[in-house]
Copies of this chain bind each other. A is one copy, B any other.
Amino acid sequence: MPVGTQGSVKAVSSEDMEEMGIKIILANTYHLYLRPGHRIVEKLGGLHRFMNWDRPILTDSGGFQVYSLSKLRTISEEGVTFQSHLDGSPHFIGPKEAMVIQQALGADIIMSFDECAPYPADYEYVRNSVRLTSLWGRRCIDYKERNHQALFGIVQGGMYPDLRELSAAELTQMNFAGYAIGGLSVGEDRGIRQRVIKETVEFLPTDKPVYLMGVGKPEDIIEAVALGVDMFDCVLPTRNARNGTLFTRNGQLSIKNACHTDDDGPVDENCHCYVCTHYSRAYLRHLFMAKELLAYRLNTIHNLYYYDRLMEDIRRAIREGRWDEHRQSFYASQKQGISDSLSG
């Protein structure tokens, strides 16, 4: 899922994403609650109509942003009091508020309100975070009114295997429509993350979607899929695009590099995106160096297309029973890219 934090996937339009074949996007409850406000979005017909996007939308619960963006947060059994990162104004979001806001926004998939522990955090803190997340998960289910919205639970538990198991066990009893793995990509090592994903997926039902929040790099996605994850969101393709870093089947490249100055070729010869079929590396480099706004849009279109095809290729390989082979060929082409650039 491309990330449309403020009701816009940065630098591209809904039409751009339709043309790329994007099937679902994510929007942030915390940001839209603060600006323009969920009641305004509701009055204007909901988020789909507001941003002219008629395919599925997932809104997160706001829990992670309250933890990572806002200042002076205070946690109680009822929810979290925090200061807006925009103007310092005081706000409160608990499980009920998270449901009310997400119902007003009108996404297809909504997330239960969770308490995302920092990293590192001691066992007792994380134990309490799991307790609150289960308590709030139950309240979210009770508060949820609109049945067309699919409500996902979020498994917490930090890096502690028994707490992950506990969180997964408590949430699966509540019978959510899907389950997310939260509390990762908060600064932990890649090896630890892989272990936690493995130890969490084990305790989740196989007949419901598993969503790994905030991950990740192409290789992180490949490895998480190998462990049983189905869904992802990440700002990497859009943020990297705005920094001039482009994804290709042979790894990443920086469009700023002088070697692209007069390179008439596309970013990726094997890519069929609008950018690769219409513009040269030389033009993209020129736009980026000249700080032209078009640079950000074209780079974003390419990167989102790359990620969409990454997932499409994964789904096809699984359907066709050649997952292991696909995973190996993914790494082989990345290695080829590194070898090419060393010899080039």
Residues of A within 8 A of B (CB): 6-8, 10-13, 15, 35-36, 40, 43-45, 50-52, 261-262, 264, 274, 278-280, 282-283, 285-287, 289-290, 292-294, 296-298
Contact = CB atoms under 8 A, between A and B. Distances in A.
A36 B294 contact: no
A65 B50 CA distance: 42
Contacts of A36: 261, 282, 285-286, 289
Nearest to A278: B52
A296 B293 contact: yes
A280 B6 contact: no
A306 to B, nearest CB: 19
Contact of A44 (B10, B262, B278): B262
A10 B293 contact: yes
Contacts of A285: 36
Give the residue among A51, A262, A294 with the most B Cβ atoms within 10 A: A294
18 contacts: A6-B286, A6-B287, A7-B287, A10-B293, A10-B294, A15-B278, A36-B261, A40-B261, A43-B264, A44-B264, A44-B280, A44-B282, A45-B264, A50-B280, A52-B278, A52-B283, A293-B293, A297-B297
Contacts of A12: 294
A23 to B, nearest CB: 20
B282 A50 contact: yes
Main secondary structure of the interface of A (DSSP, over half): loop
A13 B300 CA distance: 13
Nearest to A32: B286
Given A6-B287, A297-B297, 19 more contacts: A6-B292, A7-B286, A7-B290, A8-B294, A10-B292, A10-B293, A11-B294, A13-B294, A35-B286, A35-B290, A36-B282, A36-B285, A40-B261, A44-B283, A50-B282, A50-B286, A293-B293, A293-B296, A293-B297
A15 to B, nearest CB: 8
A240 to B, nearest CB: 15
Contacts of A297: 13, 293, 297
A78 to B, nearest CB: 29
A137 to B, nearest CB: 30
B262 A40 contact: yes
A10 to B, nearest CB: 6
A283 to B, nearest CB: 5
Given A50-B280, A293-B296, A287 B44 contact: no
Give the residue among A36, A52, A286 with the most B Cβ atoms within 10 A: A286
A-B pairs with lowest CB-CB distance, top 5: A11-B293, A8-B292, A6-B290, A36-B286, A8-B294
Nearest to A12: B294
Give the residue among A7, A15, A293 with the most B Cβ atoms within 10 A: A293
A210 B287 CA distance: 32
B289 A35 contact: yes
Contacts of A262: 40, 43-44
Contacts of A280: 44, 50
